[in-house]
Amino acid sequence: MVSDPSHALPDPKLDELLLLEQQLRSGTPLAQTHALSPAEVEHATFLLEQLRLLQSPLNEQANSPPRDESLPRKIGKYRIDQLLGCGGFAIVYRGWDSDLNRHTAIKVPLPRSLVNEDLRHRFLQESQTTAQLVHPHIVPIYESSEAGSVPYIALALCDGPTLAEYLKEKGPLPFETAAQIVMQIADAVEYSHQRGILHRDIKPANILLFKNEGSSDPSFPYTPRLSDFGLAKILEDAALQSRTSVMLGTAMYLAPEMMNSSTAIGSKAADIFGLGAVLYELISGHPPYFGESLFQVLEAARQASIPSLHTQSTNVPVDLASICHQAISKAPQDRYQSSGELRDDLQRFIKKTPVNARPLPCCRRLLRWMQEPARTAEASSFVLVSSIVLLMWLIVWPVAIPFGFRFVKGLSLEELMPYTAPLIILHGVSIFLALKISHRKLWAVIITTLLAGVVGLFQSAVVMSWISPPYPNLYANERTRDIVFLLLIFIFFLQTLLSAFAWISIQSQRARN
């Protein structure tokens, strides 16, 4: 996805920044050929030293304080005690605020996230806006500022793991615990939505678990809090706008409509999908979409239906499964209309009262199924294979006559070809159309639907003896003729049906785009 072109940077600049980040991560010396501003070079040089420090043996144990001279003494008013780690967006330190006598987490963004003054300003503005969110399940931001050329965010220091780390260690959670976590995060998201702030990247890695010794659930002594509000938008408008149009967010938690959207990411419906995806993983142990590569994950999100939670575990309560599946419905209009509705339904589940979530009616589920992109691939494959088989079957008869095979005894080419030649052309055209359907050509789907329907009606008329059958001498036995034509009716009925589904699917995809 590419956002507003007005924020795009020239490709040479992007190439230099992406190369710069590779150099930072690999620890190689910075080349002096980058066309960067002095502030960007200073920022990058500062981060290079910290990334080298992360790779040093002195920091292999997270709890041991670093003893490297390259660790900055202060960032802003915060004394830096420890280098905690590096993620896809920023380097994180543990700092000490001597004014308020408390430890804080200090985030310093990586260069590609702040490649020009406009983005640096937007980063600070976004952080300052998010700092206004005061909610028990949102990580508090204490300050957003700059120390010389180095922008930073000071926020509450988490004394526990992320939800992603916890899941990796513990696996699926008890159903009520999972519902409780997502209910609390949904409340935080509803709070932010009411203030016009989207999160855009809800996933377990962005949910921090703060220790809570007074928790009502002894098996889960944590308070979940959502972090990194709005920062995905900064990344989108930064160097990720390269020629390859890198997909934002984590694909495994990305709403399906984002796969085919050319607009900037982010909507309330997409945040609701993210909440549902987190709930799905808490229950099943894995996200709704997963694969061995990014391509497989994106293709699964675009093509496949999400496996039912009941296929993951037969013990999943029906109400909880209904809530989850409504939140992760492929069509945004089928999801909860607000995070508050999702929160309230999860609260009903926890209190063991009837929930509002219900499976879609059969007719709407059928329509959603027909609109999925997989229907086009299925139609193309079936029309192609069946047309090739029928074409080969037709060619066998005229080829066998000159060799005098027994099954064509009594037939001549003069008698056979007036019937066979048009059918060979028909199936050749069908093969061509099937190939065009695979490229999502609407005109090919329309022609195939009509053509297969007409041929199927013709064969039905033969079976019903409404018209004279072709090949009068070939099918002297009426029983044999009817069996063959019933089989052909079935094949062309499927071609018509699948082509009609592909017609609906392509039109639906075009409407969404």
DSSP assignment letter at 408: G
> Could you tell me if 254 and 301 are in contact, meaning their C-beta atoms sit under 8 angstroms apart?
yes
Proportion of the chain in helix, strand, coil states, percent, rounded to 5: 55, 10, 35
Structure tokens, 464: 């019903």
- Cα→Cα distances 243→1, 11, 235, Å: 11, 8, 15
Rounded Cα gap, residues 80 and 78, in angstroms: 6
Strands (E) across 346-434 are located at: none
Rounded Cα gap, residues 449 and 490, in angstroms: 14
Rounded Cα gap, residues 381 and 431, in angstroms: 10
106, containing H or E segment: strand 102-109
Rounded Cα gap, residues 281 and 313, in angstroms: 12
Cβ-based neighbours of 206, under 8 Å, separated by 6 or more: 162, 199, 226, 227, 228
Rounded Cα gap, residues 278 and 93, in angstroms: 27
* 344 a catalytic residue: no
Q: Exposed, middle or buried: residue 436 (CB in 10 Å: 0-12, 13-18, 19+)?
A: middle
Give which of 61, 87, 33, 435 is closest to 228, Cα–Cα.
87
Cβ-based neighbours of 317, under 8 Å, separated by 6 or more: 175, 349
Q: Pairing relation of β-strands 102-109 and 222-226? A: unpaired
CA angle 393, 399, 404 (to 5 degrees): 115
Candidates 4, 68, 159, 201; catalytic one? 201
Structure tokens, 315: 């013990």
Rounded Cα gap, residues 22 and 34, in angstroms: 13
For 160-220, give the secondary structure using H, E and C: CCEHHHHHHHHCCCCHHHHHHHHHHHHHHHHHHHHCCCCCCCCCHHHEEEEECCCCCCCCC
The helix/strand count (H/E) of the chain reads as: 16, 8
Token look-up 């029928």 returns 390
- What is the C-alpha end-to-end distance of the chain, expressed in Å? 12
Catalytic annotation, residues = 201
